[in-house]
């Protein structure tokens, strides 16, 4: 007798349990996630060890310190994630780890841990692009059907992507120099506000006047959706030097800087929305912001207004899914596994790994060098 399964039956049979590992910047993280389809995701554990304290004295992430910390912490964090999830190593369907882009020492630590587990347990290895993790992250909180426009704003990345489908991304814009979070961190450092800069700048900004200091809006009106933040950062340094360097100056410069970044991100996103609508027509309905800078309330408000004015729905996932975490890596790994895309144990860690390779090569907005395009 032959048994026939409809697509629906096959879909309902999908039940994957994936361990994810993240170590590409300054968070060592592990997570176990159950995946029964793209709109049926359950996070069983998500453990994150931040290295903020180790990097704080330097006002930024120091790669050597990060790599050592990842190596020391990774085994314990994985064990904790397994414990909290209440599942066993044997029951895992696959092991996912960030294999780029990022600080190479950290990426190697996490990827090696995943390779060791995959080998010992004889389970599939899933080498995940960190940016793909961010791109799929809204699905950790709620179903988010393709396609959607994603603004990814973190300490390492500032990009606008059309998320068309798994493994299918179109880069609409990218920073040509610093990431938005980097601009927050460096501005905070100049004014001595502490690390990480974003939350401190936001706190000071609440007490200042956003119109008090004139700052540039790089690329405003340009007919593309790229960003530039280096000039803004320099303008903040100049304004600080020229000021009385009082608490009032800290508040006013922070408020003016935050307003400038929000203006730039909203204006550039507006351009990308038009491109996204050209690509997807009536299907261009959703806009998502993710990454650490998406925690900024003034920015969220600004982007909400923008989306409403353009007739798009707006979604900012909870902060724990915006900043670096391993649940998004487990999710991307599970989606790859469901699509039959597993990796060899010999897969390499990659400091650079654009999601849209063609666009990164044709228009190397950031970091195109001997090793190839970064974003
Ligand atoms: O996504 P994330 O945790 O790590 C990566 O860089 O991948 O983002 C960290 C960045 C830092 O630059 C931090 O200053 C910024 O996000 N950030 C903020 C806020 N909270 C974190 N920027 C502006 N406002 C905030 N409230
Ligand atoms: Zn990230």
Pocket test for ligand 1, best of 98, 179, 198, 255 (most atoms within 8 A of CB): 198
Alpha carbon 20 to chain centroid distance?
A: 15
Which amino acids bring their CB within 6 angstroms of ligand 1? 25, 154-156, 181, 184-185, 196-199, 202, 291-293, 295-296, 323-324
Handedness of CA 290, 295, 298, 304 (dihedral sign): positive
Which atom of ligand 1 sits closest to the CA of residue 196?
Answer: 14
Ligand 2 centroid, distance to 213 Cα (angstroms): 31
Ligand 1 centroid, distance to 197 Cα (angstroms): 8
Q: Please tell me whether residue 194 adopts helix, strand or coil conformation.
A: coil
For the CA of 135, the nearest ligand = 2
Tens-place pLDDT, residues 169-201: 999 999 999 999 999 999 999 999 998 899 999
Which atom of ligand 1 sits closest to the CA of residue 134?
Answer: 1
Ligand 1 centroid, distance to 261 Cα (angstroms): 13
Average pLDDT for the chain: 91
Name which residue sits closest to atom 6 of ligand 1, judged by CA: 155
Ligand 2 centroid, distance to 24 Cα (angstroms): 8
- Short-list 138, 110, 13, 104, CA closest to 350: 104
**How many angstroms separate the Cα of 31 from the Cα of each of 47, 80, 119?**
6, 9, 19
Pocket test for ligand 1, best of 292, 301, 316, 320 (most atoms within 8 A of CB): 292
Tens-place pLDDT, residues 267-318: 999 999 999 999 999 999 999 999 999 999 999 999 999 999 999 999 999 9
Position with higher pLDDT, 30 vs 358: 30
pLDDT-based confidence at residue 7 (cuts at 50, 70, 90):
low
pLDDT value at 202 more than 90? yes
Q: Across residues 322-334, what is the average pLDDT?
A: 96
- Short-list 186, 185, 218, CA closest to 296: 185
> How do strand 148-153 and strand 158-165 relate by DSSP bridges?
antiparallel
DSSP state of 74: H
**pLDDT score of 73:** 87
Tens-place pLDDT, residues 88-112: 999 999 999 999 998 888 999 999 9
Q: Which two tokens stand for residue 174?
A: 């990218």
Ligand 1 centroid, distance to 141 Cα (angstroms): 19
**pLDDT score of 358:** 76
pLDDT value at 11 more than 70? no
Tens-place pLDDT, residues 102-157: 888 899 999 999 999 999 999 999 999 999 999 999 999 999 999 999 999 998 89
Q: Which two tokens stand for residue 70?
A: 């990842």
> How do strand 148-153 and strand 286-290 relate by DSSP bridges?
parallel
Ligand 1 centroid, distance to 341 Cα (angstroms): 31
| Range with top average pLDDT, 10-14, 26-30, 211-215, 353-357 | 211-215
Position with higher pLDDT, 247 vs 13: 247
Give the chain's largest Cα–Cα span.
Answer: 86
Name which residue sits closest to atom 13 of ligand 1, judged by CA: 198
Position with higher pLDDT, 322 vs 6: 322
Tens-place pLDDT, residues 33-79: 999 999 999 999 999 988 777 777 777 778 878 878 788 889 999 99
**pLDDT score of 321:** 93
Position with higher pLDDT, 225 vs 102: 225
Q: Pick the range with the lowest mean pLDDT from 5-14, 222-231, 336-345.
A: 5-14
pLDDT-based confidence at residue 26 (cuts at 50, 70, 90):
confident
């Amino acid at each position: 007798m032959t048994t026939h399964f409809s697509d629906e039956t096959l879909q309902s049979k999908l039940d994957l349990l994936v361990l994810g590992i993240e170590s590409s910047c300054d968070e060592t993280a592990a997570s176990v996630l159950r995946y029964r389809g793209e709109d049926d995701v359950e996070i069983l554990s998500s453990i994150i060890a931040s290295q903020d304290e180790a990097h704080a004295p330097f006002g930024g992430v120091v790669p050597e310190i990060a790599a050592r910390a990842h190596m020391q912490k990774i085994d314990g964090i994985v064990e904790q994630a397994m414990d909290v999830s209440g599942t066993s190593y044997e029951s895992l369907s696959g092991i996912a780890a960030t294999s780029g882009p990022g600080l190479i020492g950290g990426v190697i630590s996490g990827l090696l841990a995943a390779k060791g587990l995959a080998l010992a347990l004889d389970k599939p290895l899933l080498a995940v692009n960190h940016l793909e993790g961010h791109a799929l992250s809204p699905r950790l909180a709620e179903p988010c059907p393709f396609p959607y426009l994603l603004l990814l704003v973190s300490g390492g990345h500032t990009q606008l992507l059309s998320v068309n489908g798994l493994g299918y991304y179109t880069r609409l814009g990218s920073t040509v120099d610093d990431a938005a979070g980097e601009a927050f961190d460096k501005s905070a450092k100049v004014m001595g506000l502490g690390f990480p800069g974003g939350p401190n700048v936001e706190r000071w900004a609440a007490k200042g006047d956003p119109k008090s200091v004139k700052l540039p809006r790089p690329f405003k009106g340009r007919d593309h959706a790229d960003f530039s933040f280096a000039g803004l950062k320099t303008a903040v340094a100049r304004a600080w030097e020229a000021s009385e360097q009082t608490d009032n100056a800290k508040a006013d410069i922070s408020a003016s800087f935050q307003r400038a970044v929000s203006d730039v991100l909203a204006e550039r996103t507006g351009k990308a929305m038009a491109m996204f609508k050209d690509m997807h027509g009536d299907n261009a309905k959703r806009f998502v912001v993710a990454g650490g800078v998406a925690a900024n309330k003034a920015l969220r408000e600004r982007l909400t207004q923008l989306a409403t004015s353009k007739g798009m729905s707006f979604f900012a996932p909870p902060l724990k899914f915006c900043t670096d975490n391993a649940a998004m890596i487990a999710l991307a790994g599970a989606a790859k596994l469901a699509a039959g895309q597993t990796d060899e144990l010999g897969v390499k860690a990659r400091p650079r790994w654009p999601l849209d390779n063609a666009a990164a090569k044709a228009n190397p907005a950031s970091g195109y060098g001997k090793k190839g395009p970064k974003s």
